[in-house]
Copies of this chain bind each other. A is one copy, B any other.
Amino acid sequence: MSPSNYRLTKIPEMTIRRLSIYTRCLLQLEEDGVRTISSQELAERFNLNSAQVRKDLAYFGEFGVRGIGYYVSGLKAELQRILGLDREWPVALVGLGNLGSALFHYKGFSRQGFRIAVVFDDDPAKIGREIGGVPIVSTRDLAREVKTRAIQIAVLAVPADGAQAVTDALVAAGIKAVLNFAPARLRIPDSARLKNVDLSIELETLSFYLAQGPR
């Protein structure tokens, strides 16, 4: 099934998010030497909902084989292709403070094919240097660097008050997707996608359970 066969607007964002989770589960199964698995086994092993797994996958095609279930490696490769993880994405990191540095060193990005190709910062002490072989460039040269390197994805780790101006510059330079860590409500034109990461939501899921008292 080619990408044009499924209707993007009908696919819930949570389904996309779960595809990432399924891909991780399949990678682990592959490591463990498991070759085929049913949706029930997959659900039990990773604490998922088997009906949800089938429904999510159904947006993209027929992956199960009657009497066998899913071929672990095959389904993993399909999901990676759907998620765009079958290629390398050069990424621009904007802001090299504590959070930016932590994100630069975050292993999970490169493992999934997201390679930080350039880092932008305003600090004269950092500009012109390198971090892990990656150039640190002045935010003023953002348009040139993004275009030259044909970068489509940016990770934003700047203070809230500068975040909108940087976003505008990124989009003007041709960036199509922004992952925003700045605690700011950003506007982005329809030509690009914005995803805000709110780390406190994760803590709130935990406090919910604590607030209910002992298990």
Contacts and interface: CB of A to CB of B under 8 A. Distances in A.
A83 B16 CA distance: 26
A84 interface: yes
Interface string A101-136: 111011111011110000000000000000000000
A28 to B, nearest CB: 8
Given A210-B84, A211-B82, A114 B203 contact: yes
Interface residues of A, number: 63
Interface stretch (A17-25, A139-147, A164-172): A17-25
Contacts of A148: none
Contact of A207 (B17, B83, B99, B211): B83
Given A17-B205, A204-B85, A213-B3, A109 B199 contact: yes
Interface stretch (A61-69, A70-78, A175-183): A175-183
Which applies to chain A's interface (DSSP): helix, strand, loop or mixed? helix
A5 B13 CA distance: 31
A8 interface: yes
Nearest to A160: B107
A89 B203 CA distance: 10
Nearest to A97: B102
B108 A199 contact: yes
A21 B205 CA distance: 11
A111 B199 CA distance: 12
Contacts of A36: none
A51 interface: no
| Those 6 A-B pairs whose CB atoms lie nearest each other, nearest first | A84-B211, A99-B102, A84-B207, A108-B200, A177-B206, A98-B102
Interface of A: 3, 8, 13-14, 16-17, 19-21, 23-24, 81-85, 87, 89, 91, 97-99, 101-103, 105-109, 111-114, 152-153, 155, 176-177, 179, 183, 190-191, 193, 195, 197-213, 215
Given A107-B183, A153-B207, 7 more contacts: A20-B204, A21-B201, A84-B208, A106-B200, A191-B215, A193-B210, A197-B199
